[in-house]
Structure 1
């Protein structure tokens, strides 16, 4: 198995029998939220370092429902049919949580995006996660001012 994080987890703990296709949309969003945050934080810390408080504040500007909804809008046309279906599953999932600092539309879009990221992660398609996020950041300019 490759020396990637998911591969190491599967090697150490076993792969289990629940692949991405068998996960609920909200389970995909749960793990996708973590992966999205991990990518953003990795970019921030490796490009500029800095104090944790400063990094956290910069990450908060990008890792929130409104920013994620904007990113989704920027990449929607680039999604495959399969990716669009996964996104819709996440967006339409019944969630007991509610939007705190965003509209319900933005919150649902963000949940759909997180479900897509989670699906791609569990399927081992890290290159596609990075490709979509990079494309979205370039189109929205969300990561342009990392050094604020």
Structure 2
């Protein structure tokens, strides 16, 4: 099976994968906390995966100089990509920033940087658990 070249993919394609990768990590985290009821799991997951939460996480990453220059490049590739879907329940700017967040996650997955991906996901989950980011329900 051929491997996708992350350097050639557009930001939306990277975000497509990154959304799934981050979602799975969050779901595993919630199950590890002992949550089992589907409705509760879905509501709690929103705190981590909503566009507003992801935009807030990017802001914290920037404030803490957490990302490398190359990681910022892939974030910007996603943020600046022309999406044919529109924001639901959030502003266009927040939606674009969250697309950048997801593109960053997709880039890390496809470039084989699984330890860095896990590190950032753990950091993101910790920020949400500590109440450092807001989300919308």
Distance 1:127 1:52 in 2: 29
The structure 2 residue matched to 1:112, chosen from 90, 100, 103, is: 100
Could you tell me which residue of structure 2 aligns to residue 71 of structure 1? 57
Is residue 2:34 matched to residue 1:55? no
Could you tell me which residue of structure 1 aligns to residue 118 of structure 2? 130
Post-superposition offset of 1:123: 1.3
Higher relative contact order (CA 8 A, sep 6+): 2
Distance 1:143 1:40 in 2: 11
Distance 2:118 2:54 in 1: 14
Choose 111-120 or 94-103, whichever is displaced more: 94-103
Post-superposition offset of 1:17: 4.6
Determine if contact 1:71/1:137 at 8 Å carries over to the other structure.
no
Post-superposition offset of 1:133: 2.4
Runs of 4+ in 1 over 4 A off after TM superposition: none
Q: 1:11-90 to 2 correspondence within 5 Å?
A: 14=1, 16-76=2-62, 77-90=65-78
Q: How many residues align?
A: 129
Query: Which of structures 1 and 2 has the bigger CA Rg?
Result: 1
Determine if contact 1:75/1:136 at 8 Å carries over to the other structure.
no
Distance 1:35 1:97, change over 3 A: same
Higher helix share: 1
Post-superposition offset of 1:137: 3.4
Distance 2:3 2:17 in 1: 17
* TM-score with structure 2 setting the length: 0.87
